[in-house]
Amino acid sequence: MNLLKRLSAAAAGLAFCAGLSVLPASTAMADSCWNHNGSLMRLQAQGNQRWLSYERPRSVLRNAGVRSGTLLFNGVKNGNWYSGTARVFSKYCPGSPLEYYVEGPVRGDQLQVTVTGTREVYNRCRPTGRFTTDTLVFTYSHQC
Protein backbone atom coordinates (compact mmCIF):
# COMPACT_ATOMS: atom_id res chain seq x y z
CA MET A 1 0.00 0.00 0.00
CA ASN A 2 1.51 3.34 -0.99
CA LEU A 3 2.06 6.19 1.46
CA LEU A 4 -0.87 8.29 0.21
CA LYS A 5 -3.32 5.40 0.64
CA ARG A 6 -1.91 4.60 4.10
CA LEU A 7 -2.28 8.23 5.18
CA SER A 8 -5.82 8.39 3.80
CA ALA A 9 -6.79 5.16 5.53
CA ALA A 10 -5.25 6.34 8.81
CA ALA A 11 -7.10 9.69 8.65
CA ALA A 12 -10.40 7.95 7.90
CA GLY A 13 -9.82 5.52 10.77
CA LEU A 14 -9.04 8.33 13.22
CA ALA A 15 -12.14 10.27 12.18
CA PHE A 16 -14.30 7.15 12.56
CA CYS A 17 -12.83 6.27 15.98
CA ALA A 18 -13.30 9.84 17.20
CA GLY A 19 -16.92 9.79 16.08
CA LEU A 20 -16.40 12.68 13.69
CA SER A 21 -18.98 13.02 10.96
CA VAL A 22 -17.60 16.26 9.54
CA LEU A 23 -13.92 17.11 9.17
CA PRO A 24 -12.66 20.63 9.98
CA ALA A 25 -12.80 23.03 7.02
CA SER A 26 -8.99 23.02 6.72
CA THR A 27 -8.87 19.23 6.34
CA ALA A 28 -9.71 17.53 3.06
CA MET A 29 -12.00 14.56 3.08
CA ALA A 30 -9.13 12.22 2.32
CA ASP A 31 -9.94 9.56 -0.21
CA SER A 32 -13.47 10.77 -0.91
CA CYS A 33 -15.61 10.37 -4.02
CA TRP A 34 -17.00 13.29 -5.99
CA ASN A 35 -19.31 13.66 -9.00
CA HIS A 36 -18.02 15.50 -12.07
CA ASN A 37 -19.80 15.73 -15.42
CA GLY A 38 -21.26 12.21 -15.25
CA SER A 39 -18.11 10.57 -13.87
CA LEU A 40 -17.27 9.48 -10.35
CA MET A 41 -13.98 11.01 -9.21
CA ARG A 42 -11.63 10.23 -6.31
CA LEU A 43 -10.14 13.10 -4.31
CA GLN A 44 -6.90 12.34 -2.52
CA ALA A 45 -5.06 14.79 -0.29
CA GLN A 46 -1.71 15.06 1.42
CA GLY A 47 -1.15 18.32 3.28
CA ASN A 48 -2.34 21.04 0.92
CA GLN A 49 -1.69 18.88 -2.20
CA ARG A 50 -4.79 17.64 -4.05
CA TRP A 51 -5.35 15.01 -6.75
CA LEU A 52 -8.65 14.28 -8.52
CA SER A 53 -8.64 11.13 -10.64
CA TYR A 54 -11.34 9.15 -12.36
CA GLU A 55 -12.85 6.36 -10.26
CA ARG A 56 -15.61 5.51 -12.76
CA PRO A 57 -15.27 7.58 -15.95
CA ARG A 58 -18.37 8.05 -18.10
CA SER A 59 -18.33 5.77 -21.12
CA VAL A 60 -17.51 8.39 -23.79
CA LEU A 61 -14.18 9.09 -22.06
CA ARG A 62 -13.00 5.52 -22.57
CA ASN A 63 -12.49 6.30 -26.27
CA ALA A 64 -10.02 8.98 -25.19
CA GLY A 65 -8.02 6.51 -23.09
CA VAL A 66 -9.48 7.53 -19.72
CA ARG A 67 -9.56 4.67 -17.21
CA SER A 68 -10.02 4.31 -13.48
CA GLY A 69 -7.05 6.09 -11.91
CA THR A 70 -6.51 8.58 -14.77
CA LEU A 71 -5.55 11.96 -13.30
CA LEU A 72 -7.81 14.92 -14.18
CA PHE A 73 -6.52 17.53 -11.73
CA ASN A 74 -3.50 18.01 -9.51
CA GLY A 75 -2.72 21.09 -7.51
CA VAL A 76 -3.01 22.73 -4.13
CA LYS A 77 -5.65 24.00 -1.74
CA ASN A 78 -4.90 27.32 -0.06
CA GLY A 79 -7.71 28.28 2.29
CA ASN A 80 -10.89 27.79 0.29
CA TRP A 81 -9.16 28.03 -3.10
CA TYR A 82 -7.87 25.31 -5.45
CA SER A 83 -5.25 25.99 -8.12
CA GLY A 84 -3.36 23.65 -10.37
CA THR A 85 -3.31 21.69 -13.60
CA ALA A 86 -6.36 20.19 -15.30
CA ARG A 87 -6.40 17.93 -18.32
CA VAL A 88 -8.70 17.57 -21.31
CA PHE A 89 -8.82 14.23 -23.12
CA SER A 90 -9.50 13.45 -26.77
CA LYS A 91 -10.06 10.22 -28.67
CA TYR A 92 -7.75 11.66 -31.34
CA CYS A 93 -4.88 12.00 -28.87
CA PRO A 94 -5.26 9.05 -26.48
CA GLY A 95 -2.57 9.11 -23.82
CA SER A 96 -1.68 12.75 -24.57
CA PRO A 97 -4.07 14.99 -22.64
CA LEU A 98 -3.87 18.75 -23.06
CA GLU A 99 -2.85 20.34 -19.74
CA TYR A 100 -3.93 23.82 -18.67
CA TYR A 101 -4.05 25.99 -15.54
CA VAL A 102 -7.26 26.20 -13.49
CA GLU A 103 -8.26 27.80 -10.22
CA GLY A 104 -11.36 28.46 -8.20
CA PRO A 105 -13.23 28.33 -4.91
CA VAL A 106 -14.29 25.63 -2.52
CA ARG A 107 -17.89 26.20 -1.44
CA GLY A 108 -18.27 27.25 2.19
CA ASP A 109 -19.66 23.85 3.26
CA GLN A 110 -16.62 22.13 1.63
CA LEU A 111 -18.92 19.93 -0.51
CA GLN A 112 -18.25 21.49 -3.91
CA VAL A 113 -15.15 22.70 -5.76
CA THR A 114 -15.38 24.79 -8.95
CA VAL A 115 -12.25 25.53 -10.97
CA THR A 116 -12.03 27.50 -14.21
CA GLY A 117 -9.30 27.91 -16.79
CA THR A 118 -8.66 28.96 -20.37
CA ARG A 119 -7.14 26.53 -22.82
CA GLU A 120 -6.43 26.32 -26.51
CA VAL A 121 -8.91 24.39 -28.65
CA TYR A 122 -7.35 21.49 -30.53
CA ASN A 123 -8.70 19.76 -33.63
CA ARG A 124 -7.45 16.19 -33.99
CA CYS A 125 -4.39 16.93 -31.80
CA ARG A 126 -3.54 20.16 -33.60
CA PRO A 127 -3.83 23.64 -32.09
CA THR A 128 -6.41 25.87 -33.78
CA GLY A 129 -5.38 29.27 -32.38
CA ARG A 130 -8.80 29.55 -30.72
CA PHE A 131 -9.31 29.50 -26.97
CA THR A 132 -12.14 28.40 -24.71
CA THR A 133 -12.86 28.65 -21.02
CA ASP A 134 -13.61 25.43 -19.15
CA THR A 135 -15.36 25.20 -15.79
CA LEU A 136 -15.00 21.96 -13.84
CA VAL A 137 -17.42 21.36 -10.96
CA PHE A 138 -16.80 18.61 -8.40
CA THR A 139 -19.59 17.80 -5.93
CA TYR A 140 -19.00 15.57 -2.92
CA SER A 141 -20.69 12.17 -3.16
CA HIS A 142 -19.39 9.88 -0.40
CA GLN A 143 -16.31 8.44 1.33
CA CYS A 144 -14.74 5.99 -1.12
pLDDT tens for each residue of the chain, 144 residues long: 343 333 344 333 333 223 323 333 444 456 999 999 999 999 999 999 999 999 999 999 998 999 999 999 999 999 999 999 999 999 999 889 999 999 999 999 999 999 999 999 999 999 999 999 999 999 999 999
For residue 4, the one-letter residue type is L
pLDDT at 30 (0 to 100): 67
pLDDT at 141 (0 to 100): 98
